[in-house]
């Protein structure tokens, strides 16, 4: 046989393989989308989601004269599903008390007032006491920003990142981008890939956001890293995050474990941070790699060896209850005095 037709045959084989790969990926996303579809009864959607993937593969790959018709039908069903899936808005739900209200900001010159600013009191042996208020800040006085890294399991994905801003008068404003929750007991992190949660930025006191981690038994590990930003750059980051939260208070959007997670949410929504971290650096998608990523791109100092820097940034676990301090400022000052005490 002539080799003249071989390139065309190879291209057909490659096209078929690619088509099968695309279908398998689409079937997996469809199954996950059904499994985590908000608004459907939990047992029904989970059973349906588990059944859809093998059923779709069976219909697609089963030989026979009807194979072409089956594949066209599956393709049309998937197109209809994804048309609804990627356009459906987040559903209103009964949120946990810590996530009941959304923060929004009103700017007036250099001043900003944050509505639904959170100052919750966390206990290891009692329910959380949630307090909301309006809180004003002078943005011309913001000076510093620190990245707080909180590993909570084995592996680089099991890490939470949030940021805290320091002002001339000693005040601290903590910001955490989270997945909005309806339950603390039933939480499936995989749902972050399948439009199961809303993106939920929290603006609050350090005695709330840090105290929440300290109230765990045992307390969560935390590491504090100053960001190498000028006061003007810090202000730009803070203003962008405030506008991001305000937009979400009007038009909620879905949390995405890769593109809109605790870390990528901070980076993507801040023009200053986004401009400093290249989109091609895949470490930006993995919270556990935040420290080396930001060291490499000049956002965190790299003067010390990594291991020594981590020891100096570590917060000791034996911190008194945050609300035992007279003010949040006193608590914040105490925290920074304890950093690296175990080094």
Structure confidence by residue, pLDDT tens digits, 93-108: 889 999 999 999 999 9
Which of 155, 111, 132 has its CA nearest to residue 289?
155
- Beta strands 172-179; 223-226: pairing state: unpaired
- Beta strands 132-138; 142-151: pairing state: unpaired
Torsion of CA 211, 216, 217, 222, to 10 degrees: -70
pLDDT at position 25 over 90: yes
User: Residue 226: its pLDDT value, please?
Assistant: 97
- Do 287 and 195 share a structural domain? yes
Helix axes 42-61, 67-85, angle to 10 degrees: 150
Domain annotation covers residue 92: no
Q: What are phi and psi of 255, to 5 degrees?
A: -75, 140
For 85-153, the three-class secondary structure string (H helix, E strand, C coil) is HCCCCCCCCCCCHHHCCCCEEEEECCEEEEEEEECCECCCCCCCECCEEEEEEEHHHEEEEEEEEEECC
Domain annotation covers residue 308: yes
- Do 206 and 57 share a structural domain? no
User: Residue 8: its pLDDT value, please?
Assistant: 72
- Do 110 and 78 share a structural domain? no
pLDDT bucket at 341, cuts 50 / 70 / 90: low
User: Residue 89: its pLDDT value, please?
Assistant: 87
Which residue in this structure is represented by tokens 């509505």?
A: 115
**Does residue 294 contact residue 300 with C-beta atoms inside 8 Å?**
yes
Structure confidence by residue, pLDDT tens digits, 132-189: 999 999 999 999 999 999 988 777 678 899 999 999 999 999 999 999 988 765 667 7
DSSP 261-299: SHHHHHHHT-HHHHHHS-TT-GGGG-GGGHHHHHHHTTS
pLDDT at position 38 over 80: no
pLDDT at position 9 over 90: no
User: Residue 144: its pLDDT value, please?
Assistant: 97
DSSP character for 216? S
Domain annotation covers residue 90: no
For Cα atoms 5, 8, 10, give the angle at the middle one, nearest 5 degrees.
110
Helix axes 328-338, 206-214, angle to 10 degrees: 50
**Does residue 152 contact residue 212 with C-beta atoms inside 8 Å?**
no
- Do 184 and 282 share a structural domain? yes
User: Could you tell me the two tokens for 212?
Assistant: 């929440």
Instruction: Report percent pLDDT > 70 for the chain.
Output: 96
Q: Which of 63, 85, 107 is the last residue of a domain?
A: 85
User: Residue 186: its pLDDT value, please?
Assistant: 61
pLDDT bucket at 125, cuts 50 / 70 / 90: confident
Structure confidence by residue, pLDDT tens digits, 57-91: 999 999 888 889 999 999 999 999 999 999 988 88
Q: Is the dihedral of CA 288, 270, 274, 141 positive or negative?
A: negative
Domain annotation covers residue 318: yes
Q: Which of 40, 55, 85 is the last residue of a domain?
A: 85
Residue 174 host element (H or E): strand 172-179
C-alpha–C-alpha distance, residues 248 and 242, integer Å: 10
User: Residue 322: its pLDDT value, please?
Assistant: 92
- Do 227 and 117 share a structural domain? yes
Burial class for 84, CB neighbours closer than 10 Å (0-12, 13-18, 19+): exposed
Q: Which of 56, 85, 114 is the last residue of a domain?
A: 85
Domain annotation covers residue 41: yes
Q: How many domains does the chain have?
A: 2
- Do 162 and 67 share a structural domain? no
- Do 26 and 114 share a structural domain? no
Domain annotation covers residue 343: no
**Does residue 197 contact residue 191 with C-beta atoms inside 8 Å?**
yes
C-alpha–C-alpha distance, residues 164 and 328, integer Å: 13
- Do 157 and 30 share a structural domain? no
User: Could you tell me the two tokens for 222?
Assistant: 């935390």
- Do 280 and 216 share a structural domain? yes
C-alpha–C-alpha distance, residues 291 and 223, integer Å: 10
User: Residue 11: its pLDDT value, please?
Assistant: 85
Domain annotation covers residue 91: no
- Do 228 and 108 share a structural domain? yes
- Do 191 and 58 share a structural domain? no
What is the model's pTM?
A: 0.88
pLDDT bucket at 193, cuts 50 / 70 / 90: confident
pLDDT bucket at 3, cuts 50 / 70 / 90: low
DSSP character for 5? G
Which of 231, 243, 263, 286 has its CA nearest to residue 162?
263
What range defines the domain where residue 44 resides?
3-85
User: Residue 143: its pLDDT value, please?
Assistant: 97
Which of 122, 114, 109 has its CA nearest to residue 165?
114
User: Could you tell me the two tokens for 168?
Assistant: 């001339």
Helix axes 6-35, 42-61, angle to 10 degrees: 170
In DSSP terms, 198 is beta-bridged to 254
- Do 204 and 137 share a structural domain? yes
């Amino acid at each position: 046989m002539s080799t003249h037709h071989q390139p065309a045959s190879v291209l057909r084989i490659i096209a078929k393989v690619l088509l099968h790969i695309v279908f398998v990926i689409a079937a997996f996303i469809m199954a996950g989308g059904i499994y985590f579809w908000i608004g459907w009864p939990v047992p029904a959607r989970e059973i349906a989601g588990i059944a859809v993937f093998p059923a779709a593969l069976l219909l697609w790959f089963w030989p026979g004269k009807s194979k072409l018709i089956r594949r066209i039908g599956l393709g049309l069903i998937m197109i209809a599903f994804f048309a609804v899936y990627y356009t459906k808005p987040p559903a209103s739900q009964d949120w946990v008390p810590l996530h009941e209200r959304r923060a929004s900001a009103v700017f007036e010159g250099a001043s900003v007032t944050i509505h639904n600013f959170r100052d919750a009191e966390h206990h290891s042996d009692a329910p959380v006491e949630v307090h909301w208020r309006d809180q004003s800040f002078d943005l011309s006085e913001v000076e510093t920003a620190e990245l707080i890294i909180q590993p909570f399991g084995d592996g680089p994905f099991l890490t939470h990142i949030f940021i805290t801003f320091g002002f001339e008068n000693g005040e601290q404003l903590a910001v955490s981008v989270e997945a909005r929750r309806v339950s603390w007991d039933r939480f499936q992190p995989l749902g972050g890939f399948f439009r199961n949660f809303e993106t939920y930025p929290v603006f609050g006191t350090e005695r709330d956001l840090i105290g929440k981690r300290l109230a765990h038994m045992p307390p969560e590990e935390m590491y504090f890293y100053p960001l190498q930003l000028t006061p003007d750059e810090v202000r730009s980051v803070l203003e962008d995050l405030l506008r991001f939260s305000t937009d979400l208070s009007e038009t909620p959007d879905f949390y995405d474990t890769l593109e809109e997670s605790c870390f990528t949410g901070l980076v993507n929504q801040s023009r200053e941070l986004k401009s400093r971290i290249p989109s091609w650096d895949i470490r930006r998608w993995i919270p556990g790699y935040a420290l080396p990523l930001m060291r490499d791109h000049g956002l965190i100092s790299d003067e010390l060896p990594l291991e020594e820097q981590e020891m100096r940034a570590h917060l000791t676990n034996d911190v008194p209850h945050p609300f035992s301090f007279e003010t949040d400022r006193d608590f914040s000052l105490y925290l920074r005095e304890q950093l690296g005490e175990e080094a």
